[in-house]
Structure 1
Amino acid sequence: MTEAIISIEGMSCQHCVMRVKKAIEGLKGINKADVQIGQAKVKFDESLTGKKEIEEAIVKAGYKVKG
């Protein structure tokens, strides 16, 4: 398992948290997604998905990835 901490801009409430969590957990290979306002801590199987795909899912959900 690989772990990544991703900083996210544009989140302001629990609805934002749930939207990002749902987007991340919709990807194959996600073991755990701990999402808070401004950050996601994700454990995933790199053979099934990568950090880039996770960041793309966050952007598609309507938020901006920092860094």
Structure 2
Amino acid sequence: MNVTSAVSGLRKVVVASMAGTVVEWYEFFLYGTAATLVFNKVFFAKGTSDLDAILAAFVTYAVGFAARP
């Protein structure tokens, strides 16, 4: 393996890793926004106060954030 192909392979790995990281953080940003605006009204609205619904949506967000690999 020559130096040019090693650099090319490393560049592919870096670009793929960066793309995956950007998509993952964008997804977490979207979920956080949706948890505030939508999920508390759609999924957690029955029999709870607005604060309880927002906290339940954010706890779901926190569990997903903590459990990622």
TM-score (norm 2): 0.32
Larger proportion of helix: 2
Larger radius of gyration: 2
Instruction: Name the structure, 1 or 2, with higher relative contact order (CA <8 Å, separation 6+).
Output: 1
Larger % of strand: which?
Answer: 1
TM-score (norm 1): 0.33
